[in-house]
Amino acid sequence: MSNQVKNIAVLGSTGSIGTQTLEVIGENPSLFRVYILTAHSNADLLIEQALKFNPEYAIICDERKYQEVKQALFNTGIKVLAGHTAIVETVTHPDIDMVLTAMVGFAGLEPTIAAIKAGKDIALANKETLVVAGELITDLAKQHGVKILPVDSEHSAIFQCLAGEEGNTIEKIILTASGGPFRGKTLEFLAGVTRELALKHPNWVMGAKITIDSATLMNKGLEVIEAKWLFDLQTSQIDVVVHPQSIIHSMVQFEDGSIKGQMGLPDMKLPIQYALAYPTRLKNNFKRFDFTAYPNLTFEKPDIDTFRNLGLAFEALKRGGNMPCIINAANEIAVAGFLADDISFLAMSDVVESCMQKITYQAQPSQADYLNTDKETRIFAQNLIKQMPLKAYNLI
Ligand code: NDP
Ligand code: MG
């Protein structure tokens, strides 16, 4: 790495990945500087972060919070902006070296495209962007010569396994999945699952949306799609294995049958740090893995009959076009519906499946088509949820 300090735009700085990114940056002030901080509506934390990291820009999406942030940062020299468009425009600033995308959902798409077009390397946590428009994003990245460095732990693991393997053919990759909090449970059990139960992940503390996605296995489905685009794979080259301890973060099997995996305690700061400093490994004091503390690392098949979302995601990937965009939008609405206690746990897969059947399929979507598909799917899914029995799990 050059001696120059890297200017980083941290999009979604107030979230789980965002705050851990700031921890990594805070530990390495000679290597990284925060250039932009963004939040959706958490003004208090954005202000606190801005005062600590002194970025050029602090951007709050929710325009109602603008005055509050502006006043708190008055006289600091930090420029305060509001709204989604401000993010899209500011990420292109010539002084930015890397954009870390840690906002949640479809909202990541436009800023990521703008950053790539401006030649910024992307540290990608916001997997939904690659799910929605993987082909478009990877083509743009090639065209503009930018790197997409994975932050998602599984993809970081694969990326690390591929270091030094240029020119060697991948037979397949094996994505590991913790199985979530309901591994081994039956459909009868899942029918009665509450929001509170679903928000308790056994191995990772994360934002609400990805925690629910982990409980339904949609997260693994989204990661299969993310992996296809990041590593240019066929669907048949991607396997998923449940590994409840989350110690092996994923594996690559090469043509000679040899398998490389990347291991460690579950801690997102490691993949974040690897993406920020790539290709350098930075010394840190994160807790180390002790093999004797884990005498049993176990592996099992995912149960796609019970956790239908994983199968639906594979199907969406096979169909291609705007189908992954459809499942992403349907899933975002379904998860929001579940978190609002409007639909049951199992109904989330029903919403996704109905959208896959009903929304107009397009084989070769443009960027505008993705925006339309997203909008159309959201409206359809919202209407569908209105017709579903309220809090279905209370009726059982
Ligand atoms: P959080 O919910 O914890 O944080 C989301 C961040 O994005 C917050 O800063 C939030 O602001 C902001 N945000 C939310 N909605 C919008 C929006 N519509 N427009 C702009 N900003 C928005 O999520 P996570 O950190 O858990 O996840 C972020 C991304 O990283 C997701 O795509 C997730 O799939 C991915 N990821 C997360 C992992 C994890 O361990 N958490 C692991 C691997 C991937 P505010 O705080 O103001 O609401
Ligand atoms: Mg992951």
Over residues 324-380, the pLDDT tens digits come to 999 999 999 999 999 999 999 999 999 999 999 999 999 999 999 999 999 999 999
Instruction: Out of 150, 180, 205, pick the residue that ends a domain.
Output: 150
Sign of the alpha-carbon dihedral angle for 227, 230, 236, 239: negative
CA of 188 from ligand 1 middle (Å) equals 31
Same domain, 88 and 15: yes
- Name residues whose C-beta falls within 8 Å of residue 167's C-beta, 6 or more positions apart in sequence: none
**Residue 124 is assigned to a structural domain of this protein:** yes
Residues with CB under 6 A from ligand 1: 12-18, 39-42, 61, 102-104, 107, 125-128, 152, 204, 206-210, 268
Alpha-carbon dihedral angle through residues 148, 153, 154, 157, given to the nearest 10 degrees: 80
Point out the ligand 1 atom lying closest to the alpha carbon of residue 126: 32
**SS3 state at 219:** helix
CA of 139 from ligand 1 middle (Å) equals 25
Same domain, 329 and 227: yes
Same domain, 78 and 197: no
Contact predicate 118/356, CB 8 Å: no
**Alpha carbons 19 and 52: distance in angstroms, whole number:** 12
pLDDT in tens, 36-45: 999 999 999 9
Point out the ligand 1 atom lying closest to the alpha carbon of residue 222: 34
Same domain, 138 and 194: no
Same domain, 21 and 92: yes
Same domain, 127 and 205: no
pLDDT band, very low/low/confident/very high, at 3 (cuts 50, 70, 90): low
- Name residues whose C-beta falls within 8 Å of residue 33's C-beta, 6 or more positions apart in sequence: 5, 6, 7, 8, 25
Same domain, 145 and 251: no
CA of 30 from ligand 1 middle (Å) equals 26
CA of 123 from ligand 1 middle (Å) equals 14
pLDDT in tens, 58-116: 999 999 999 999 999 999 999 999 999 999 999 999 999 999 999 999 999 999 999 99
**Residue 283 is assigned to a structural domain of this protein:** no
Q: What is the pLDDT of residue 391?
A: 55
**Alpha carbons 90 and 354: distance in angstroms, whole number:** 38
How many domains does the chain fold into?
Answer: 2
**Residue 131 is assigned to a structural domain of this protein:** yes
pLDDT in tens, 14-34: 999 999 999 999 999 999 999
Instruction: Out of 115, 150, 185, pick the residue that ends a domain.
Output: 150
Same domain, 123 and 61: yes
Task: Give the single-character DSSP code of 64.
Answer: G
**Residue 272 is assigned to a structural domain of this protein:** no
User: Domain range for residue 323?
Assistant: 170-266+302-386
Same domain, 100 and 184: no
Same domain, 201 and 337: yes
- Name residues whose C-beta falls within 8 Å of residue 30's C-beta, 6 or more positions apart in sequence: 5
* CATH number for the domain harbouring residue 33: 3.40.50.720
* CATH number for the domain harbouring residue 325: 1.10.1740.10
Closest C-alpha residue for ligand 1 atom 42: 152
Point out the ligand 1 atom lying closest to the alpha carbon of residue 46: 47
Point out the ligand 1 atom lying closest to the alpha carbon of residue 129: 32
CA of 245 from ligand 2 middle (Å) equals 14
**Residue 287 is assigned to a structural domain of this protein:** no
pLDDT band, very low/low/confident/very high, at 1 (cuts 50, 70, 90): very low
Closest C-alpha residue for ligand 1 atom 40: 206
In this prediction, residues 274-295 reach a mean pLDDT of 97
**Alpha carbons 222 and 231: distance in angstroms, whole number:** 14
Query: Above 50 in pLDDT, residue 234?
Result: yes
CA of 101 from ligand 1 middle (Å) equals 9
Structure tokens at 228: 């296809």
**Alpha carbons 124 and 102: distance in angstroms, whole number:** 7
**Residue 89 is assigned to a structural domain of this protein:** yes
- Residue from 42, 66, 210 to probe ligand 1 pocket by mutation (most atoms less than 8 Å from CB): 210
CA of 154 from ligand 2 middle (Å) equals 5
Task: Give the burial string for 41-69 (b: 16+ CB within 10 Å, else e).
Answer: ebbeebbebbeebebbbbbbbbeebbebb
Same domain, 132 and 210: no
Burial class (CB in 10 A: 0-12, 13-18, 19+), 147: middle
**Alpha carbons 13 and 9: distance in angstroms, whole number:** 9
Instruction: Out of 122, 150, 178, pick the residue that ends a domain.
Output: 150
Same domain, 70 and 129: yes
pLDDT band, very low/low/confident/very high, at 202 (cuts 50, 70, 90): confident
Point out the ligand 1 atom lying closest to the alpha carbon of residue 38: 9
Query: Above 70 in pLDDT, residue 394?
Result: no
